[in-house]
Amino acid sequence: MPEAVPNFCNSVKLKYVKLGYQYLVNNFLTFLIVPIMAALIIQVLKLGPEEIVSIWNSLHFDLLQILCSSFLIIFIATVYFMSKPRSIYLVDYSCYKAPVTCRVPFSTFMEHSRLILKDNPKSVEFQMRILERSGLGEETCLPPAIHYIPPTPTMETARNEAEVVIFSAIDDLMKKTGLKPKDIDILVVNCSLFSPTPSLSAMVVNKYKLRSNIKSYNLSGMGCSAGLISIDLARDLLQVLPNSCALVVSTEIITPNYYQGSERAMLLPNCLFRMGGAAILLSNKRKDSARAKYRLMHVVRTHKGADDKAFKCVFQQEDPQGKVGINLSKDLMVIAGEALKSNITTIGPLVLPASEQLLFLFTLIGRKIFNPKWKAYIPDFKQAFEHSCIHAGGRAVIDELQKNLQLSAEHVEASKMTLHKFGNTSPSSLWYEMSYIEAKGRMKKGDRIWQIAFGSGFKCNSAVWKCNRTIKTPTDGPWDDCIDRYPVFIPEIVKL
């Protein structure tokens, strides 16, 4: 019997074919220029010294031509360097670490829920089901006012939480960087749901006695993606203010926003949101380039607020009993997917290598011209980034992004472990994730980091950073006493 024709699809390692394709396309210019330069050098070497001298003597230059050419080169170089955007550096950052007295184990959370919602056992059962599948661990923290039965969310307790979280993060940042209050030129504070008068930014100015000419901004109502909006605002300001430093503070104050009603859609945030905050120091000073940890490469913001469903999918409102809370729509994941699609369509050309962009383009042309049923090509974002920091909004969000973007388990490890250890700390979660990667000793010089966050409105924002130097494993920070225990296995359901 004749031998069967071998199945080359199985025998050939297709992944190596793709690697070869990526190497060829991404280094196309090198492969093109090197042979041409080699041929030119060979031709020059074939000429004798006399021929080279005669060719040089045949060239005629007068003083006017030399001066005009020199001035033109100097003019073009000046225009180029003046129009080039300033480099923005992330000198360092600090994350707030809540004391153990604020921890809320599952048993404590459920006991409080049963006492607060004793007349509504179905709501208690609903919260238990959410907590079992949330991906949170036993060490997440809530502010002291929420530990009371019933909770006591007053303006005073909310301010106390804000002061503790924000001042602790800033103090730690100043200690690490040697930053003095007089060195701060720009201050941006973001907190979505707690916006007192005077503002939180004014509170920081008062505490640290900042300069009277400081550029101060307070952002509210922008949801979990407000941290990257603050980074974008600080970047724009640093582009027009030379030799300046910007302090960015990202937090969410839980005390006044703990829902005490029984509406299921409004009880969900109680199960996920926890205490947290971060302080970030940005600079455009040349002297900070050597000590800075990262350089900001891109910020891409997507806003879907023109669509009514997107606008109302995360909505602060009163329930029928007049109790205020955040209503999370059932359409949230679909809307987040659409926002993500728009965002990566914009950021893709900025970060993806040529090989991935060509594959995407060929697939798009094929679907338009030949067969609309062709499967859409999802670019391999693992080629663009070494690390990903996905907003730890919930287990479902992280899992969905991992599936849709075909990310590896290591790419989402920081997000899942941050959710487990700290819960959803809103805009500051990205910095806990960055800190996790550093604590694991994985951040090397030249590594690219993708931060992506979602927020009410509805918004999807991305930031891309490049590691400026290999980061030594820190001896302090939010993970200092537990990093050896991570990563941990997180079951699909934790039975309570």
Q: Where are the domains of the chain?
A: 88-485
Q: Which two tokens stand for residue 367?
A: 């679907």
**Whole-angstrom distance, CA of residue 359 vs CA of residue 31:** 20
Q: Which two tokens stand for residue 89?
A: 């550096």
Q: Which of 327, 424, 461, 468 is catalytic?
A: 424
Residue 255: what are its φ and ψ, rounded to 5°? -45, -55
Q: Which of 102, 112, 389, 391 is catalytic?
A: 391
Return the CATH architecture of domain 88-485.
3-Layer(aba) Sandwich (3.40)
Q: Which two tokens stand for residue 463?
A: 């930031």
Integer CA distances (angstroms), 106 to 113, 133, 424, in order: 10, 12, 15
Q: Which residue has the tokens 């059962």?
A: 125
224 annotated active-site: yes
Asked if 460 contacts 314 with a C-beta cutoff of 8 angstroms, the reply is no
pLDDT tens for 253-284 read 999 999 988 888 899 999 999 999 999 999 99
Q: Which two tokens stand for residue 209?
A: 């006695």
Asked if 339 contacts 459 with a C-beta cutoff of 8 angstroms, the reply is yes
424 annotated active-site: yes
pLDDT for position 26: 59
112 annotated active-site: no
DSSP state of 374: S
Q: Which of 190, 271, 420, 468 is catalytic?
A: 420
Integer CA distances (angstroms), 305 to 298, 309, 313, 469, 472, in order: 22, 8, 10, 38, 41
Q: Which two tokens stand for residue 159?
A: 């301010």
Q: What do you get for the CA distance between the two ends of the chain, in Å?
A: 63
pLDDT for position 16: 46
298 annotated active-site: no
Q: Which residues contact 31 (CB under 8 A, 6 or more apart)?
A: 24
**Whole-angstrom distance, CA of residue 263 vs CA of residue 319:** 7
**Whole-angstrom distance, CA of residue 379 vs CA of residue 398:** 18
411 annotated active-site: no
pLDDT for position 459: 94
Q: Which of 191, 224, 271, 460 is catalytic?
A: 224
Half-sphere exposure of 473 (CA within 13 A, CB side): 9
- For residue 326, the cross-strand partners are 316
Q: Which of 141, 245, 284, 387 is catalytic?
A: 387
Residue count of the chain? 496
Q: Which residues of the chain have pLDDT under 50?
A: 1-16
303 annotated active-site: yes
How many Cβ atoms sit within 10 Å of the Cβ of residue 237? 18
pLDDT for position 54: 74
Q: Which residue has the tokens 């409080």?
A: 112
Q: Which of 120, 298, 303, 482 is catalytic?
A: 303
Q: Are strands 459-467 and 294-303 parallel, antiparallel or unpaired?
A: antiparallel
